[in-house]
Every structure is written in structure tokens, then in C-alpha cells.
Amino acid sequence: MSFSISELLENKQDQQFNLYHQYLNHQLLNVLKTLGFNKKYVRAENQYLFDSEGLRYLDLLSGYGVFSFGRNHPQIIKAVKETLDLGLANMVQFDAPLLAACLAEKLAQFLPPELNKFFFCNSGTEAIEGAIKFARAATKRPKMLSCDSAFHGLTTGSLALNGSEIFKKDFYPLLAAETVPFNDLEALEAALKTKQFSCFVLEPIQGKTVKIPDPDYLPQASALCQKYNTLFIIDEVQTGVGRTGKFLASQHWPEAQADIITLSKALSGGLVPVGVIAMKPWIFEKIYRNMEHAVIHSCTFGRNDLAMTAALATLDVLESEDMMTQAAIKGKKLLSLLREKLLPFEMVKEVRGLGMMIGIEFCPPKSLKLKAGWTLLEAANKGLFCQLIVIPLFRDFRLLTQVAGPNCHVVKLLPPITMSDSDIEETANAFQQVVAMAHNFPGAIWDLGKTLAKHSWAKT
């Protein structure tokens, strides 16, 4: 009998959670069960997921930002199938693959002209790992600088740049790195002045808090890096490829000049993982300085034909469907509707965002009744309140959202740019109803809070 994935999926569907529990991350499964997110998804189309009971979910998480252009985009699938059918000589390794060269040529059209040398890899964290190596080789300074609320990936190099101790504490010693507060130019200059840092690595919008920089932050940070001979690495892994209404989020501040830019996530079209480091040629040449060093930084799958194809097709879709304009227009609409419906509530501190990257920040209530509930949750786990928003959004309205990061009070939306006007209205209305419920104490939402507070995962 020939091997069939459809048959395998059908035959094993009943065992899905048991197998996952036995062989994979059982703690994640426990979290999913506790929060009620343990659904069996069987199909996805554009902005929607469908579960085994035929229920439809609006995906406002888009695989952590991978599906900016929707899931299973027919044009990207077609391109990948075409490449498979061509029977190309993929990953010869001792060759100069045409599709990689074509992707580099295409990317150069979207990026600042001085960033015209590229290294392809497989993920966001791998792009950051590579960027760290290029920066260290170029400056001969071992230490790195990042922001206190930063997230740049979870392998041991990029982990050192992470602002949050919860991700790092089990893994010391890490590479030498320090953090400065986001949006604080004085602190940045004080650190850079020491001239010990190879690079300052920055997400233009902080993914774990959806903090947006002050208007002069990126331009001034870029000038300070130049002044103290520190490379400015802008991490656009989450914000890049059109999500914020421009190809790069940092292009909203055109005076900011990066030395290195990292991309990944959406560039894959959600089909084949890909990562990119784009940089100035002089930095590239510090590693690839002669033939002996031609493969000093390399990876086996980096330039593979399927990833290059998915990225080329994704960039084609970006242009043909005018995704950047769509992200700008829809993002503005979603942001203003959410502001209109949520800002009147006392526990909503701010609704902020750029394009299709939006954060809703909550704050402690003033009224005594609500305060009791909030304090109970905070004592169990800082940031637990946001689960009281995310869970009913999913359970009652079938909207998939996330808490932006550990210990924070921000619910984050990274919707597919392709979501419709009626999805936008549905989202804002659902948020309004759930946030209204959260302002009713006692009530069903706070009962859920008590149950969550009791769970051991809150404290470990």
C-alpha cells in the first residue's frame, strides 16, 4: 500500500492528544486544556481555521505572524508545487543556486539600497544568530546591547539579547550582553559611550509589549550607533514584509539607517521556513574575506529551492495584492474601532499599533470591587488578567488572540492582512463584549480567573 498523508491523518485523528502528550510537550498540552484551546484543527483557509467539529475560527495570531498574507495562499502553494514538479538540482551546496540569487535581487528592491548583501537561513533566531556573528567579526567587540523588553529568539545567542529573565534564567552563562530601557536615548548613549558593544539590536516595535517608539527614537538610536562605531541591527522578523504598512516597520522612520536587517516569518508565505540577514557589503566582507573563509558562516538548508520559491512567490503576492496598502488601511480601521469601543472602559489603558500589529494594554481598576479580583489574579501570576480576555474571545467568539508576553497586561493582535471588513467589525464587537464582561465583578469571567489562579502552572 502506498503512503498517504490523508489516510494517516484520518486514522490517527482520535489519538492526536494522546500521542502529543506521550512524545511531545505535554506541559503545552496541559496549558491548552486549562485555557480551553485544545481544539483539533483540520483545515485552514486564508484568515480562518476550521476544527474537527466544523467550527470556524478567525485567526488573529497568524502563526505568530507567519501568515501575514493568509493561510494556504493559492499562488504561493502553486509556486512551491511547480518547483517540486520541476525536479531541480536542489541543495547541491557546491553551486550558486539561481533561485537564491533571484530572491536576493528581489529583496534588494524592497530594502534600503546600502543593505545589498544577503545571507539566507531558516528562522528568525538563526537570522539573529548570524547577525551577531557578523557584528562581532566586523567590530571585534564581543558584547551586545538590546532593549529590556526585547525578544529576538530562543537559541542561546539570541537568548542573550532577550529582555525577559523568565526565558533566560535556566540557561546561564549566555553570551555577553546588556539591556537598556526601550525608548530611552540617554541610557542608550551612556551604554554606547563605553564602546564595548558590537551591536545594538532593536525591534522597531517591541513584539512582547507592542511598544511603539517615540518619533525620534529610531533616527537618534541610529545616529548614536554611528557615533560610537556600534552596528545598528534592526530585527524585522515580526514587523517586516508589509505587516505595518511598509515593507519594513523601520521605514516609518526613514532617517534611521540600519547596518544589518533580519527578516523571517511572513517571508515564508507560511509554507517553507526562511530567514534572511541583509547587510552592508563591508560587514559581509569581514566574514567572507577570502576563499578560505567562503563557508565560515553557512547552513545546510539556507538557500534551498522550496524556501526561495515560497519567498519569491510571497513577494509577488505582496505586490500583486498591494498588501502594504491593505495593512495600512485595515490596521487603521481596526485600531480606531478598537479605540472607540474599548477606551471608555476603566481597565483599558491604551490601544496602540501600527498597521496590522496591535496591542490592547490593560491596567489596574480604580473601583473597589474590581480591584479585589485584579489583586487576586496578580498575586497568582502577573499578567493573568489578560487570559480572562483571551479565553472568552476564543471560547465565545472563536477569535484566536494571544497575551503579548510574560508578566504583561497586553493582548496582542497580529492578524492576517487579508482579513475582511466584516472580520474587523466582528473583532471589535467581540472585544467590546468581553471587556464589558470583565468589568462586571463578580461574574463568570472572574470565576474563570479564580480557577486559573488556583492552577499550579501560574506559579512555576
Give the distance from CA 74 to its chain's centroid: 23
CA distance 234 to 255: 13
Closest contact distance (angstroms) between CB of 235 and ligand PLP is 5
Q: Report the residue number whose CB is nearest to ligand PLP.
A: 124
CA distance 402 to 31: 13
Closest contact distance (angstroms) between CB of 407 and ligand PLP is 17
Site string for ligand PLP, 57-96 (x = CB under 6 A): -------x--------------------------------
Closer CB to ligand PLP, 354 or 388, in the complex = 354
Closer CB to ligand PLP, 143 or 152, in the complex = 152
Count of positions on this chain that bind ligand PLP (CB under 6 A): 14
Closer CB to ligand PLP, 147 or 225, in the complex = 147
The two counts, helices (H) then strands (E), for the chain are 18, 15
Member of 47, 49, 71, 203 binding ligand PLP (CB under 6 A): 203
DSSP string, 386-453: GHHHHHHHHHHH-EE-EE-STT--EEEE---TT--HHHHHHHHHHHHHHHHHHTSSSSHHHHHHHHHH
β-pair partners for 359: 352, 412
Q: Using the rule CB under 6 A, give the single segment among 118-126, 193-201, 397-405, 451-459 that binds ligand PLP.
A: 118-126
Closest contact distance (angstroms) between CB of 153 and ligand PLP is 3
CB hemisphere CA count around 194 (13 angstroms): 14
End-to-end CA gap in the chain? 48
For the record, the C-alpha cell of 257 comes out as 539607517
The contacts of residue 107 (CB under 8 Å, 6+ apart) are 118, 263, 276, 278, 311, 315
Give the distance from CA 392 to its chain's centroid: 23
| Amino acid (1-letter code) at residue 28 | L
| Amino acid (1-letter code) at residue 42 | V
Closer CB to ligand PLP, 151 or 397, in the complex = 151
Closer CB to ligand PLP, 208 or 280, in the complex = 208
Closest contact distance (angstroms) between CB of 294 and ligand PLP is 26
Closest contact distance (angstroms) between CB of 393 and ligand PLP is 21
For ligand PLP, the binding residues in 370-409 under the rule CB under 6 A are: none
Closest contact distance (angstroms) between CB of 312 and ligand PLP is 19
Member of 179, 264, 304, 314 binding ligand PLP (CB under 6 A): 264
Q: Is 207 in the site for ligand PLP (CB under 6 A)?
A: yes
Member of 47, 62, 68, 238 binding ligand PLP (CB under 6 A): 238
Closer CB to ligand PLP, 123 or 250, in the complex = 123
For the record, the C-alpha cell of 228 comes out as 560610537
Q: Is the peptide bond before 406 cis (omega within 30 degrees of 0)?
A: no
| Amino acid (1-letter code) at residue 200 | F
Closer CB to ligand PLP, 103 or 237, in the complex = 237
Please give the helix or strand (H or E) that residue 16 lies within, else none.
Answer: helix 16-23
CA distance 365 to 363: 6
Closer CB to ligand PLP, 327 or 434, in the complex = 327
CA distance 302 to 160: 23
**Residue listed under C-alpha cell 542561546:** 156
Q: Is the peptide bond before 442 cis (omega within 30 degrees of 0)?
A: yes
Enter the DSSP assignment of 171: S
Closer CB to ligand PLP, 192 or 274, in the complex = 274
Closer CB to ligand PLP, 17 or 64, in the complex = 64
Q: Is 416 in the site for ligand PLP (CB under 6 A)?
A: no
Closest alpha carbon to 332 in 355, 361, 357: 355
β-pair partners for 344: none
For ligand PLP, the binding residues in 127-156 under the rule CB under 6 A are: 128, 151-153
Closest contact distance (angstroms) between CB of 291 and ligand PLP is 31
Instruction: List, as own/partner pairs, every contact residues 171-177 make where C-beta atoms lie below 8 angstroms and the sequence separation is at least 24, other chains included.
Output: 175/132, 175/142, 175/144, 176/142, 176/143, 176/144, 177/143, 177/144, 177/145, 177/146
Closest contact distance (angstroms) between CB of 262 and ligand PLP is 7
Q: Using the rule CB under 6 A, give the single segment among 87-95, 124-132, 220-228, 309-317 that binds ligand PLP.
A: 124-132
Q: Using the rule CB under 6 A, give the single segment among 234-242, 300-308, 420-428, 431-439 that binds ligand PLP.
A: 234-242
Enter the DSSP assignment of 150: -
CA distance 407 to 385: 10
For ligand PLP, the binding residues in 153-192 under the rule CB under 6 A are: 153
Q: Is 353 in the site for ligand PLP (CB under 6 A)?
A: no
Closer CB to ligand PLP, 122 or 370, in the complex = 122
Which residues would be at the binding site for ligand PLP (CB under 6 A)? Answer: 64, 123-125, 128, 151-153, 203, 207, 235, 237-238, 264
